[in-house]
Structure 1
Amino acid sequence: MLRKLLLLFLSVYAMAVTAQQLYFPDTAWQIKKPAELKMNKALLDSAVAMALNSENKVERDLRIANMKSYAREPGYKILGPMKLRGGPAGLVIKNGYIAAQWGDINRVDMTFSVTKSYLSSIAGLAVDNGLIKNVSDKVNQYVWDETFEGGHNSKITWVHLLTQSSDWSGNLFGLSDWADRPPKEGNIDDWKNRKLVEPGTVFEYNDVRVNLLAYSLLQVWRKPLPAVLKEKIMDPIGASATWRWYGYENSYVNMDGLMMQSVSGGGHHGGGIFINTLDHARLGLLFLRNGKWKTQQLLSEKWISEAQQSSVANKNYGYMWWLNTTQDWKGISPKVYYAAGYGGNYIVVDKEHDLVVVTRWMDDTKIAEVINLIIQSTAIK
């Protein structure tokens, strides 16, 4: 017994010492000059200039942008809140400190599919808290209704939903899976009636199925997912009071006698997480620090590691985090991973260089070049 207590004390002490050695921001985030962080100012300035001068071409009125982007989808409609977007903004976090910033980092904007990485964290919390015993479990063991009935849908596991490889077939909140990003060529009826593939074998980006994951996690948590995120992650990491997470006007479900909104995993039909750049950076720093914030382990190291492992269906996709496994971002380590959303929204995590980079509304074709410049700026010995 004494030995166990001693080991526990040493473990807690080691965590405390490690936390003291690492900087975590309080309400006000400390800023350091590049030289103080052993960064090349000229290269860092070049990266910032490129990000500022490479604004994404999507319309400032995101309703118009969505209607144009998804015009081919049968019956496309906007069901959740949207807002006009701001201009390019971003942060470079080095060793936990702000090394560079540009644009309005306090502005709350839509973040589209970056929301998926937040949703993945809700699943991680469910695993860490024993609400989901194993991500390889079939989801119909947790969701009792007809959502996962049938020969195909009954095979779907949490892993399949997290890796966007379920090929779930059905209709959720008035949206059919087959209507989301149909092929550019061919007859829509052929696509609608296609033969379904085995769950886990084919990656397909599909927001209806991501919303299905959110709906399924609501059944597990039995309380609104934004409340879970706020209590378990956003408040402990010191996020502002300005972020919001929305679903659709018709995505309310009865949970234990209370009507709760099932949130969306992106802004494809509106909704998703609306958030500022600083709060994004806090989530990125949490992942950079393996799920630990100061002395609290908010997400298990095991989950952080699993979330960035290549999935069977797509080597460059983990649990709703994008990976650089095949080095599509040329010259950048395959260990770098990131959250990505429509319009050039990114949270990039580079543990090797102790970096978090957040960009808003940047040209997607420039992101790798910007990250490369930032990494090169850390080469001072």
Structure 2
Amino acid sequence: MMLRRYFYTLALALGLLACQQQPQQTATAQQQQTASKVYFPGKGDNWEHKQPEQLGLDAAKLQEAVEWAKTQETTQMKKDFSTQEEIFGTPLGPLPADRAFTNGLILKNGYIVAEWGDTKAADPTYSAAKSFLSTILGLTIDKDMIQSITDPVAKYVHDGGYDSAHNNKITWEQHARQTSEWEGESWGKNSNFIGHEAFGKGERKPRELQEPGTFYEYNDVRINRLALSLLRLWEKPLPQVLKQEIMDPIGASDTWQWVPYRNSTVSINGQQMPSVSGGTRWGGGLWISARDEARFGYLFLRNGRWDGKQLVSEEWVKQATTRRGPVGPDYGYLWWLNTEGKFWPDAPTTSYAALGAGQNTIWVDPAHDLVIVWRWHDGNQNEFIKRVLAAVKE
């Protein structure tokens, strides 16, 4: 009798334990199932469209937003780039003969819910390229090629660019935050932007150089110096790094190219390699389609993960899109932020963007699972974002 009671008590206890564990197991299974439902487009044109209503959007309001966007062609950048030299100064690299009209697409949960214009045109994206360069910096840190983003660049790069007492202090982070105050010349352009012929309307007045990290200045010469420093570490062209590590894995097309200046070639290990720029201010730069930019934005929306593979660390995505220190505007590591709600007052403060002249825009909104790419428009991003968000049903 005692033995029978023992086995009965044991069976009852095991049964209760199983009941307690089952919800946890079910929850885990549900989490895995939910994760597996995250959509990632296939390579190239293998990208699924969905009707807005299928994803909780008001189709009429979304179409109204798109129709408004179509009317906002940029007046900043001529279609034939004929005002390029007047605006930015003497070019160092080539430009296409023409560009597309305003175009873009909207992703919701990774699906295309709206698309207009020639989204396959591989046009210069100007300073939106800086966010791609930032990602290469993130990869460099992820792979332990740089121990810490707060390390001085001079610890790793020994080509004379950081030999002075001033430049010797500059860190990778200061480059990425545009607070480096690097002093020198890069590909024939001085870091002070002095000289009308060299800089056009972008020429600046002389000022006293500040301590690295204490003063913000949007400065392509210094970002180009960052690109060269990264090239020194990777010892292979940065477009090749971007292609292998990011663009091929996310299924980008073969039409994008990162065009160097005519005079930006350096010798590395006895081989001649081009150093690319962080924009198209002086020609060259990242020439890419809106569709490929949308893939890049979606990679960041998914915290650096693409279809089960972590391409750039989640930690880097978080750092790059977080406000860093009191100096300068709402800016991460070469990404524009909305932490203070100043750039896009009607958008979530967690949204952020890669931005370039001609108002090339890759806007990422984690709160609503949205990515918007909008190119060659007049710059009123908030007005468009407000109209798109009005289509999101709560």
The TM-score, its normalising length taken from structure 2, stands at 0.87
> Pick from 156, 164, 170: which aligns with 1:142?
156
Separation in 2, partners of 1:288, 1:181: 41
Runs of 4+ deviating beyond 4 Å: 13-19, 180-185
Is the contact made by 2:85 and 2:200 (CA closer than 8 Å) also made in structure 1?
A: no
Separation in 1, partners of 2:300, 2:69: 23
Separation in 2, partners of 1:170, 1:137: 20
Separation in 2, partners of 1:101, 1:108: 16
Deviation sequence 1:275-306 (CA, Å, 0-9, x none) = 01110000000000000001100010000000
Whichever residue aligns with residue 330 of structure 1, its letter is P
Whichever residue aligns with residue 242 of structure 1, its letter is T
> Pick from 115, 118, 141: which aligns with 1:127?
141
Q: SS at the partner of 2:371? A: strand
Separation in 1, partners of 2:350, 2:81: 35
Aligned positions of 1:119-268 closer than 5 A: 119-179=133-193, 191=206, 194-268=207-281
Higher alpha-carbon deviation: 325-334 or 94-103: 325-334
Offset, 1:208: 0.4
- After superposition, the CA RMSD in angstroms is 2.1
Is the contact made by 1:60 and 1:86 (CA closer than 8 Å) also made in structure 2?
A: no
Which residue in the other structure is 2:99 paired with? Answer: 85
Separation in 2, partners of 1:225, 1:209: 17
Higher alpha-carbon deviation: 56-65 or 161-170: 56-65
Deviation sequence 1:104-156 (CA, Å, 0-9, x none) = 11111010000000000000000001111100000001111210111211110
Q: SS at the partner of 1:42? A: helix
Q: SS at the partner of 1:229? A: helix
Q: SS at the partner of 2:225? A: helix
Separation in 2, partners of 1:32, 1:109: 26
Which residue in the other structure is 1:116 paired with? Answer: 130
Q: SS at the partner of 1:330? A: coil
Which residue in the other structure is 2:8 paired with? Answer: none
Q: Tell me if 1:21 matches 2:34.
A: no
Which residue in the other structure is 1:10 paired with? Answer: none
Whichever residue aligns with residue 164 of structure 2, its letter is G
Separation in 2, partners of 1:59, 1:144: 38
Q: How many residues align?
A: 359
Which residue in the other structure is 1:4 paired with? Answer: none
Offset, 1:19: 4.4
Whichever residue aligns with residue 34 of structure 1, its letter is P
> Pick from 286, 293, 307: which aligns with 1:280?
293
Structure with max Cα Rg: 2
Which residue in the other structure is 2:63 paired with? Answer: 45
Whichever residue aligns with residue 290 of structure 1, its letter is N
Q: Tell me if 1:60 matches 2:78.
A: yes
Is the contact made by 1:288 and 1:356 (CA closer than 8 Å) also made in structure 2?
A: yes
Is the contact made by 1:19 and 1:294 (CA closer than 8 Å) also made in structure 2?
A: no
Unaligned runs of 5+ in 2: 1-28
The TM-score, its normalising length taken from structure 1, stands at 0.90
Offset, 1:63: 3.6
Q: SS at the partner of 1:114? A: helix
Is the contact made by 2:79 and 2:100 (CA closer than 8 Å) also made in structure 1?
A: no
Offset, 1:246: 1.3
Q: SS at the partner of 1:200? A: coil
Offset, 1:44: 0.6
Separation in 2, partners of 1:230, 1:14: 35
| Same amino acid, percent of matched pairs | 43
Whichever residue aligns with residue 42 of structure 2, its letter is D
Q: Tell me if 1:326 matches 2:334.
A: no
Separation in 2, partners of 1:143, 1:352: 39
Whichever residue aligns with residue 367 of structure 2, its letter is E
Separation in 2, partners of 1:145, 1:292: 35
Is the contact made by 2:90 and 2:200 (CA closer than 8 Å) also made in structure 1?
A: no
Change (3 A) 1:181 1:356: farther
Is the contact made by 1:128 and 1:300 (CA closer than 8 Å) also made in structure 2?
A: yes
Higher alpha-carbon deviation: 329-338 or 136-145: 329-338
Q: SS at the partner of 1:325? A: coil
Is the contact made by 1:15 and 1:295 (CA closer than 8 Å) also made in structure 2?
A: no
Unaligned runs of 5+ in 1: 1-12, 71-75
Which residue in the other structure is 1:341 paired with? Answer: 356
Whichever residue aligns with residue 84 of structure 2, its letter is N
Separation in 2, partners of 1:240, 1:67: 30
Is the contact made by 1:315 and 1:326 (CA closer than 8 Å) also made in structure 2?
A: no
Q: Tell me if 1:358 matches 2:373.
A: yes
Whichever residue aligns with residue 52 of structure 2, its letter is P
Q: SS at the partner of 1:106? A: coil
Is the contact made by 2:76 and 2:378 (CA closer than 8 Å) also made in structure 1?
A: no
Whichever residue aligns with residue 45 of structure 1, its letter is Q
Offset, 1:62: 5.0
Offset, 1:234: 0.2
Offset, 1:184: 11
Separation in 2, partners of 1:130, 1:14: 35
Separation in 2, partners of 1:240, 1:180: 39
Deviation sequence 1:223-260 (CA, Å, 0-9, x none) = 00000000000000000000000111000000111100
Whichever residue aligns with residue 30 of structure 1, its letter is E
